[in-house]
């Protein structure tokens, strides 16, 4: 007798075939995994990738990694984890409207920042002093090599491609990957404004009127308008695009954030300390790789020491990086017994 559970995932494949756009990436048409896996009777391959990402340690560490503001006093500032969830939500909304594959977009979105360093882009900048480190490449390395006891997560080709190509300069092979790239920008521009206003770095009235007039005056309205613009300019087409007006306004608003928040604001003054700390850690472990934790020491048999040190540091949370630095470089008190 046929096991009925074997039909559950096939129903999803049938639904995708019938209802998704002709430009969508159907789950059943994946290019597959580097190492074959027995199919799941309940989930499609992209749903399995989503679950593998959610359950990995790198995903859990995102909650203790800086998004924009280093160690802010307050419970409502974004972390790398909340950013990831916002990107996922925006990507799913766009994909649903365009009848693209939501599961694929969600998997890419949940994995796109797994390789981000502690202390946000400050940590990335520190490692770039020594190497060609880029967080998108590192995110792919996390899923390919570092997770699941250094055996890799063995994700599908399309999810891996989307993770690697989520940056503005990337060229994803699927429309779902393109959606995540846009969703990433929509999320961070808007939530960084929200956090900057909360921190008192800027006020809503500081936002340039020419951009606000196009995008919207309030946080939720801007996100909604940006999503609607992409949907309206991409519906029924084989590419994901914005109108010129929204593209120019987003670019201008992003530059405003660099000028007023990301680089010059008083809230970023502590970042120089974080950069110096990451540099100290990198130099220490490259000179003394024997001081790396055992799993990373063993990894130097497969990869260059510089790469493994980047792996170790990029995997750190903010607080673990601080604790490691203190343990290595800060003298400890003692007493005579």
Q: For 105-130, how does the pLDDT look when each residue is reduced to its tens digit (9 = 90+)?
A: 999 999 999 999 999 989 999 999 99
Q: Domain span at residue 60?
A: 29-269
The reply to whether 149 falls in a domain is: yes
The answer to whether the Cα torsion of 105, 145, 55, 125 is positive or negative is negative
> Which pTM value belongs to this model?
0.94
Name the domain count of the chain.
1
The reply to whether 33 falls in a domain is: yes
Q: Which residues, other chains included, contact 189 with Cβ-Cβ below 8 Å and sequence gap of 6+?
A: 250, 253, 254, 257
The reply to whether 281 falls in a domain is: no
The reply to whether 276 falls in a domain is: no
CB contact at 8 A, 321 and 118: yes
The reply to whether 82 falls in a domain is: yes
Task: With cut-offs at 50, 70 and 90, classify the pLDDT of residue 264.
Answer: low
**Nearest-angstrom CA–CA distance, 105 and 94:** 10
The reply to whether 161 falls in a domain is: yes
The reply to whether 153 falls in a domain is: yes
**Nearest-angstrom CA–CA distance, 191 and 208:** 17
pLDDT surpassing 70 at residue 267: no
DSSP H helices in the chain: 8-19, 45-54, 57-61, 80-98, 102-111, 120-128, 135-141, 147-150, 157-164, 175-198, 209-215, 219-234, 244-257, 271-287, 294-299, 305-315, 318-329
150-161 pLDDT, tens digit each: 999 999 999 999
**Nearest-angstrom CA–CA distance, 22 and 238:** 9
Task: With cut-offs at 50, 70 and 90, classify the pLDDT of residue 1.
Answer: very low
62-117 pLDDT, tens digit each: 999 988 877 666 778 899 999 999 999 999 999 999 999 999 999 999 999 999 99
Q: What is the CATH number of the domain that holds 165?
A: 1.10.3210.10
Task: With cut-offs at 50, 70 and 90, classify the pLDDT of residue 2.
Answer: very low
Q: Which residues, other chains included, contact 247 with Cβ-Cβ below 8 Å and sequence gap of 6+?
A: none
**Nearest-angstrom CA–CA distance, 65 and 316:** 8
The reply to whether 15 falls in a domain is: no
Return the pLDDT at 75: 78
183-227 pLDDT, tens digit each: 999 999 999 999 999 888 999 999 999 999 999 999 999 999 999
Mean pLDDT of 41-52: 96
CA distance readout (Å), 121 to 134, 155, 228: 10, 26, 29
DSSP 217-257: SSHHHHHHHHHHHHHHHHTTSSS----HHHHHHHHHHHHHH
């Amino acid at each position: 007798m046929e096991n009925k559970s074997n039909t559950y995932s096939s129903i999803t494949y049938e639904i995708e075939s019938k209802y998704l756009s002709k430009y969508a990436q159907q789950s059943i048409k994946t290019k597959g995994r580097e190492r074959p896996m027995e199919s799941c009777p309940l989930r499609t391959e992209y749903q399995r990738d989503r679950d593998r990402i959610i359950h990995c340690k790198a995903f859990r560490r995102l909650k203790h990694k800086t998004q924009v503001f280093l160690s802010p006093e307050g419970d409502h500032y974004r972390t790398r984890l909340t950013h990831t969830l916002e990107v996922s939500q925006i990507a799913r909304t766009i994909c649903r409207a365009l009848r693209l594959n939501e599961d694929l977009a969600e998997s890419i979105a949940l994995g796109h920042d797994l390789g981000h360093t502690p202390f946000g882009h400050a940590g990335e900048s520190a490692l770039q002093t020594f190497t060609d480190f880029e967080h998108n490449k590192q995110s792919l390395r996390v899923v390919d090599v570092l997770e699941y006891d250094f055996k890799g997560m063995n994700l599908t080709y399309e999810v891996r491609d989307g993770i690697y190509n989520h940056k503005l300069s990337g060229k994803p092979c699927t429309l779902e990957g393109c959606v995540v790239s846009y969703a990433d920008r929509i999320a961070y521009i808007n939530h960084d404004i929200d956090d900057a206003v909360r921190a008192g770095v800027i006020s809503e009235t500081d936002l340039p009127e020419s951009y606000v007039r196009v995008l919207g005056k309030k946080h939720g309205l801007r996100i909604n308008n940006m999503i609607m613009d992409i949907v309206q300019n991409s519906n029924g087409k084989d590419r994901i695009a914005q109108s010129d007006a929204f593209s120019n306004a987003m670019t201008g608003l992003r530059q405003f954030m660099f000028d007023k928040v990301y680089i010059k604001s008083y809230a970023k003054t502590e970042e120089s300390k974080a950069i110096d700390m990451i540099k100290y850690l990198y130099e220490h472990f490259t000179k003394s790789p024997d001081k790396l934790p055992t799993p990373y020491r063993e990894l130097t048999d497969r990869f260059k020491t510089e790469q493994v040190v980047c792996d170790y540091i990029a995997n750190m949370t903010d607080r673990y990086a601080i604790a490691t630095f203190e343990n290595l470089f800060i003298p400890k008190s003692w007493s005579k017994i």
